[in-house]
Amino acid sequence: MKYENTLLFIDGEWCSGSEKQTIPIFNPATDEEIGHVAKATVADLDRAAASAEKAFHVWRRTPAVERGVTLRKAAGLLRDRLESIAHVLTLEQGKPLLEARAEIASCADAFEWAAEEGRRLYGRVIPSRAAGVAQYVVRAPVGPVAAFTPWNFPASQVAKKLAPALAAGCSVIVKASEEVPRSAAAIITSLVDAGIPTGVVQLAYGTPDEISRHLIAHPAIRKISFTGSVPVGKHLAALSGEQMKRTTMELGGHGPAIVFKDADISSAAALLVSGKYRNAGQTCAAPTRFMVHNDVYHEFVAAFVEKTQSLVVGNGLDATTQMGPLANERRGKLFDQFVDDARQRGAKLMCGGESLFTRGTFRQPTVLANVDPSMRVMNDEPFCPIALISGFDNPNEAVAEANRLPFGLAGYAFTESSANAQFLAENLEVGMLSINHLGLALPETPFGGVKESGYGSEGGLESTEGYLNTRFITNKAY
Ligand code: NAD
């Protein structure tokens, strides 16, 4: 299947940047250059911002029911095109086709959920203190949005930002990943083909810092949404703060997974292996620090290592592949550094640790046991296929280790005791806690972090809140 070059989508047209510059795209499974993406200039961004402002006034006045019809139509188109978009996603990002298909299906789910929710953005009436006075609260779209999305889920991160923003009545300029651009463009195409009015959705690529600085400062833009690393999130939040613009920040994590001695160890290990190595570990909500009760430590490590070693690593296009390459060589280099540093500081390499094949950014699924907080990988978000296992005797120790880091995105626990589950629900500093299964990231459930993992939500009722202003109106009749 041919991989097409990606253009910008500005003011209703697919176009090159005004200076005709492009960025090359590589297949991480083969290192081959497979295409190019257009690079936007400041002049292109100004055109996009003017178009977004104009389109906002059209879209906010479009009845929510009609906005929903467009979103639902786009979801249908994504389902019709699922196989070809998934193929493109695997080519440019590396993940196995099965995961790519699930990602595109989740984009359709997000649009369908938002299509319905847009009809339920209720206000309220407040009883007044005086006769003849009406008091009511309305929720109005915040305005044109600048959305910045990363390369790990390059399609679904775009859909997760577009769906609630569009349902709320906002126009959106997406700056998607320059490294993985084509599947993001396919999400925009589905909305265009569904008939979304000109300027309501636009797409830019270029130099991330130049685009974010320009759009955040631009008077037309009223809201910033970012998914990516904590340092970049802090930088964009600071820029937005200078402009008093609202932000949603979905940042990194370092997920604790706590396994109690009363858990079903074999099924906990199997589920956690699938969660850990999904997308080659490049998932912000991945389980990462595995804390296992010392009574079942060896049993868990053995089961976890066995399942890890059985994973088939290869080109995501091969039907048997269960884990693809890392999406870029930056992650590969960090993988090597994390493993070396941890081993030098006393971690026990249980399996993996090496690169694989002569071409592509492949690394083995890796398990490090006997880890401790002195190791770099126990502090920085690994964002690669490394599982870190340590033991605990007392649940307070596990909670202290889980809460030690400034991250607070997803947490996991396996236990048959409701008392243990309740203890964790009350004490783990995470935005999402999944107990005895991997149950996160549905369109109808909130997705977001606490502490340095950010604020705001990318799912559930809370996702549209981020794109709405609350306004109070009071009217005294003559
Ligand atoms: P990075 O911090 O340079 O970039 C992260 C993402 O932010 C990329 O998509 C990049 O294009 C974008 N970005 C960077 N600078 C930007 C700017 N000034 N304005 C707008 N966007 C900008 O790191 P990276 O090597 O690309 O990714 C690795 C790190 O990013 C990981 O450690 C992980 O913590 C984090 N990350 C998190 C998520 C997530 O889902 N929360 C997704 C991708 C990456």
384 given a catalytic annotation? no
Are the beta carbons of 327 and 28 closer than 8 angstroms?
Answer: yes
Kindly state the average pLDDT of the residues 280-308.
Answer: 98
pTM above 0.80, yes or no: yes
Express each pLDDT in 323-382 by its tens digit: 999 999 999 999 999 999 999 999 999 999 999 999 999 999 999 999 999 999 999 999
Express each pLDDT in 249-282 by its tens digit: 999 999 999 999 999 999 999 999 999 999 999 9
Give me ligand 1 centre to Cα 150, in Å.
6
Express each pLDDT in 93-140 by its tens digit: 999 999 999 999 999 999 999 999 999 999 999 999 999 999 999 999
Q: What DSSP line would sit under 63-93, residue for residue?
A: -HHHHHHHHHHHHHHHHHTHHHHHHHHHHHH
* Closest C-alpha to ligand 1, atom 17: 209
Backbone phi and psi for residue 321, each to the nearest 5 degrees, phi listed first = -65, 130
Give me ligand 1 centre to Cα 342, in Å.
24
- How far apart (Å, rounded) are the C-alpha atoms in residues 395 and 94? 38
Give me ligand 1 centre to Cα 231, in Å.
9
Q: Residue 229: CB within 6 Å of ligand 1?
A: yes
Q: Which of 53, 37, 254, 69 is nearest to 151 (CA)?
A: 37
Q: What is the ipTM of this complex?
A: 0.96
- How far apart (Å, rounded) are the C-alpha atoms in residues 206 and 214? 12
- How far apart (Å, rounded) are the C-alpha atoms in residues 423 and 420? 5
